[in-house]
A = this chain, B = another copy of it.
Amino acid sequence: MKAVILAAGYGKRMGGDTPKPLVELYGLPLIEHKIRKLDGYEIIVVYHDERIKDHIQKRFPRIKLVYNPYPERENGYSLYCVKDLIKEGESFILLMADHYYDEGFYRDINPINQTTVYVSAKCYQEDEATKVKVQGDKVIKIGKGIDDYDYFDTGFFVCSYESLVYAERAVSQREKVKLSDIMQLLADDGRLSYKVMDEFWIDIDTKEDLKKAEEFIRRSLIKPTDGIISKFLNRKISTRITPFLLRYDFITPNRITVFVSLLGFLTSVLFYFKYYLLAGIMTQIVSIIDGCDGEVARIKNLSSRFGAVLDSVLDRYVDIFIISAIFLSIEKDIFLSLSFIPALTGSVLVSYVSHLSGWRPYLATRDIRLFLVMVFSILFSLYENMIYAFFAVIAVITHVSVIFTLLRLRS
């Protein structure tokens, strides 16, 4: 299926000279958020500004670029520009380069018989928005000046070839043709359907809009499975590091995973040589940037099964190295072994059981375990025998979590 991104509009209200599609949102040019999520589609970008062309050519050489020589004729003319690239009977996605759409928009898209506009009951700039009035399963009115409306037009469409026929007719009759003018023509003939979306979307016109979108992205990166330390501490920091990592394509999620793990192994060496305090702080840093791989993967749509397993396995190895290094750092007696073994195995088993059951071990998620390492490392540096207490605490919370999960599964 093809996907057409309209990026030929003006719109300089953002300040600065950068064309809006290239304005940076959370580390990536606005237009790239769409390109990344449209992985697997044949993307066509309609542009006017040469800087957009240069940027796309450099970063995404496989994307087809279509020049719109008349941006002043409005975005309906941009749609008309792709007419020769779509075959009769073909459906395609149509979306705006300067909007941000949450992942839900890109799910379950199928070829359609009738052009469909994605609408929403929510909108951040109601005055500016294009409104939609529906009747049954059809749109009857679409445009800015509608008082009696049901939804807002999100600027996301799945179009039939027919929409291009209407576009051709519109540009032959008028100088300025808005996309909503073409859609109104379709609606007049009962040829425009709609789909109601509940997901976040925003038309980015101002710096405030950009901020709103950024805040949304940051919040969306907190996973429902995140533990309490992760939610209230780690994510707050990692989601502020991630935009910097997103700027560089060589910083892949898997490379972040490997880097964080190396940092973890280094941390275990510090523990072994009794730099407890430094090692404790390092542990918390590892715990924080451990979130970045998943965040980059989600934003750039690079999640993979291999990446997920690699992350899980390396996390386990880092946990094992840290706990073992603490054990090996002091004089061993039988009691130390007897507390070390349950702490070590509990740390691995709690993840194992969580994967088997699909449940999160509230008490002993990794963020909490690593946070405890940091807290206790302060105590180790004062009094080495606190290591016994540390092992005991880790052993108890992990094995209790395993048993609770089993009991919960049984009931």
Contact = CB atoms under 8 A, between A and B. Distances in A.
Interface in A353-411: 353, 355-357, 402, 405-406, 409-410
A349 B313 contact: yes
A352 B317 CA distance: 12
Chain A, interface size category, equals 20 to 34
A345 interface: yes
Given A341-B320, A349-B313, A356 B355 contact: yes
Interface string A175-217: 0000000000000000000000000000000000000000000
A92 interface: no
A313 B354 CA distance: 11
A174 interface: no
A40 B352 CA distance: 32
A120 B290 CA distance: 56
Given A320-B341, A328-B337, A344-B344, A353 B313 contact: yes
How many chain copies?
2
A305 interface: yes
A397 to B, nearest CB: 16
A386 to B, nearest CB: 20
A138 interface: no
Q: Which of A341, A349, A355, A410 has the most CB of B within 10 A?
A: A341
A242 interface: no
A85 interface: no
B344 A334 contact: no
A163 B183 CA distance: 58
A57 interface: no
Contacts of A306: 406, 409-410
A409 B308 CA distance: 11
Contact of A351 (B308, B341, B344, B352): B352
Contacts of A165: none
A109 interface: no
A291 B338 CA distance: 30
A328 B333 CA distance: 10
A157 interface: no
A332 B337 contact: yes
A313 B352 CA distance: 8
Contacts of A406: 306, 309-310, 313
Contacts of A349: 313, 316-317, 348
A17 to B, nearest CB: 43
Contacts of A345: 316, 320, 344-345, 348
Interface of A: 305-306, 308-310, 312-313, 316-317, 320, 324, 327-328, 332, 334, 337-338, 341, 344-345, 348-349, 351-353, 355-357, 402, 405-406, 409-410
12 contacts: A305-B409, A309-B357, A309-B406, A312-B356, A313-B349, A313-B352, A313-B402, A316-B349, A344-B344, A344-B345, A348-B349, A352-B355
Given A313-B356, A327-B337, A355-B356, 11 more contacts: A309-B356, A309-B406, A310-B406, A312-B356, A313-B349, A313-B406, A317-B349, A324-B341, A328-B334, A328-B337, A352-B355
